Structure formats: C-alpha cells, structure tokens
Structure 1
C-alpha cells in the first residue's frame, strides 16, 4: 500500500485556514480523489461528542475510549485520550483508509509539507519558526515581497488551486 501524501495549511486564528482547506478538499473531490482532513482544535473547551443522545453516545459515556459508528455511507469515530494525540499516529490511522491526500489544518510545528497563511505583519515570524514550508498565502502581497518562497495572494487563491493541489500531492 502506497501512503498518501500529507499537506498542512497553517496560520493564526481567523486567518482563513478552514476556508482555504475547504476549497482544496473540494478541488480534489471534484476530480474524483479521496481527500481526508484532520483539524487541530486548540481551544480549551472540550469537543462535543458526535452523537448526543444516541446509542453511540451511551457507549462512549459508559467508558469506551474508542467508539465507532458505521452506517451504509458514513463512519464516525470518537477517541478519548488524556494527552495530546500524536499527529503522526492520526495520520497512520487515516492512511489505513487509502486516501489520495491527507490534509491537515493546524499543527504548525509538525514537519509535514505546508502552506503558511500570513494575514498580519507579525505573522511573518512563522516563516522563520516553521519547517517544510512549500508556499505562502498572504492577505497583502506587499508584506511578502522579500520572501524567496512561492507566494499566492489570498484574492487569487482559487485561480491557483490546480497548482496548489499538485504541490500538495507531491511526495517529499
């Protein structure tokens, strides 16, 4: 089994990560590809259980650390863990479903190939702090004139989806 490539989109809160990742996923899906997504939830409030007041909820609340629900066209999984779950382990789980691409929102410090969103001047520090940056998406092109990495203006994002998707699928 060939492992799917992994591609991250990272940036600070409200920089547009979810919107850009949604566009990238839709682009791949429209071409018949199986695109998977992992989202990092850094907020302090806990996630809500997927199926409140259902049998799966009851099983989860009974103490099952891992609860899955399979239906004819959808599978949902709930995993409870004490410590942060390592992203590489999540990617490994996703690989077992044979996707064409695994996309990740967040997990800035991980070493997978990534696009970095620059919204404010202060965000430029990310370019020195992060590894494996493949491209930069900026809200204001003037902020990134001195950058040697490929840069895409946010306003032109959708025009560049074919090349971004191709870059996301590259194996590094």
Structure 2
C-alpha cells in the first residue's frame, strides 16, 4: 500500500491559508478522494474541548488524555498533551486511516512539499528560509515575478486547482 502524500500550505497570519486549504480539500472530496487535514493552532487561546457538556466532555474532564467518539459516519478524537507532538507523529497517526492526501496548514519549517503564500513584500523572506517549496501563491504577481518557483496568482487559484491537486499528490512535478 502506498503511503499518503503530505502537502503543506504555509504563510504568515491572515494570508489565506485556511481558505486555500479548504478549496484544495473540497477539490479532492468532489473526486471522492479521502483528504485528511492537519491544522497548526499557534494562537495563545486554548482550543475548545469538543461538545461541551456532553459525555465525551465529561470523560475528558475526568482525566482521559485521549477521548474518541465514534458515530455512524464520523469519528472525533481529542488528545491532550503536555509536549508538542511532531508533525511526523501526527502524519503517522493519520496514515493509519489510508487517506489519499494529507493536507497540512502551517508547520512551515517542516520539510514536506509545500506551497508558500506571499501576501506582502516582507513575506518574500520565506522563499529563502523554507525547504521543499513546490509552488508560490501570490496576492501580487509583480511582487513574485522573479522567484525561482512556479507561481499561481491568487485570482487564478480556483482555475488551477486541478494542477495544484496533482502537484500536492506528487503526480505532477513542479516546473521551474
């Protein structure tokens, strides 16, 4: 069995990561592919526990470090931890469910294939700092005219989703 490919969409805060990742996931889902998502939450406020005031919440509050709820067609998992889990560990867990693609938002310093969003001129520094860049998504084509990576203008994102999805799955190599 082939391991699910991993593809990251990275950029600074409010650059459009979640919107673009949502489009990519929807594209795969429309083709009846199983796309799994991992999102990095770096904000100071803690995540909200699933289904406040439910049995799963009571189990969590009782001290369960891992609480899963399985129902017809849906499984939710909450995992409390003191140390940060590496992206590799999360990907290992996700691969147990045989996805066709693991789409990751954030974790910009990881070495998985990635698209980098460039919204402002100061964001261009990411292109020198990050590894395994497959694609640049730009808010301003003039700003990214000289970059050594394939570029997709934000305005063309949806028109080029088929191409981006193949790239994300490793079915299409990036061109220079």
- Would you call these one fold, judging by a TM-score over 0.5? yes
Query: What is the 5 A alignment of 1:139-150?
Result: 139-150=139-150
TM-score by length of 2: 0.96
Q: Which runs of 5+ in 1 are unaligned?
A: none
2:30 counterpart of 1:65: no
Structure 2 SS opposite 1:81: coil
2:9 counterpart of 1:16: no
Q: Give the equivalent residue in structure 2 for 1:36.
A: 36
Q: Report the alpha carbon displacement of residue 132 of structure 1 after superposing the two structures with TM.
A: 0.4
Q: Give the equivalent residue in structure 1 for 2:7.
A: 7
Following the alignment from structure 2 to structure 1, what is the Cα–Cα distance between the partners of residues 51 and 137?
Answer: 36
Q: Report the alpha carbon displacement of residue 85 of structure 1 after superposing the two structures with TM.
A: 1.1
Q: Give the equivalent residue in structure 1 for 2:156.
A: 156
Q: Report the alpha carbon displacement of residue 83 of structure 1 after superposing the two structures with TM.
A: 1.4
2:106 counterpart of 1:106: yes
TM-score by length of 1: 0.98
The CA RMSD measured in Å over matched residues stands at: 1.0
Following the alignment from structure 2 to structure 1, what is the Cα–Cα distance between the partners of residues 83 and 122?
Answer: 30
Following the alignment from structure 1 to structure 2, what is the Cα–Cα distance between the partners of residues 17 and 167?
Answer: 17
Following the alignment from structure 2 to structure 1, what is the Cα–Cα distance between the partners of residues 43 and 162?
Answer: 32
Q: Report the alpha carbon displacement of residue 97 of structure 1 after superposing the two structures with TM.
A: 0.3
Structure 1 SS opposite 2:142: helix
Following the alignment from structure 1 to structure 2, what is the Cα–Cα distance between the partners of residues 162 and 143?
Answer: 25
Following the alignment from structure 2 to structure 1, what is the Cα–Cα distance between the partners of residues 143 and 43?
Answer: 29
Render the CA deviation track for 1:73-112: whole Å, top value 9, x for unaligned: 1000000011111110000000000000000000000111
Following the alignment from structure 2 to structure 1, what is the Cα–Cα distance between the partners of residues 82 and 132?
Answer: 29
Following the alignment from structure 1 to structure 2, what is the Cα–Cα distance between the partners of residues 40 and 148?
Answer: 27
Following the alignment from structure 2 to structure 1, what is the Cα–Cα distance between the partners of residues 43 and 83?
Answer: 15
Following the alignment from structure 2 to structure 1, what is the Cα–Cα distance between the partners of residues 166 and 103?
Answer: 13
Following the alignment from structure 2 to structure 1, what is the Cα–Cα distance between the partners of residues 39 and 149?
Answer: 25
Q: Which runs of 5+ in 2 are unaligned?
A: none
Tell me the matched-pair count: 172
Structure 1 SS opposite 2:12: coil
Following the alignment from structure 2 to structure 1, what is the Cα–Cα distance between the partners of residues 153 and 2?
Answer: 33
Q: Report the alpha carbon displacement of residue 117 of structure 1 after superposing the two structures with TM.
A: 0.1
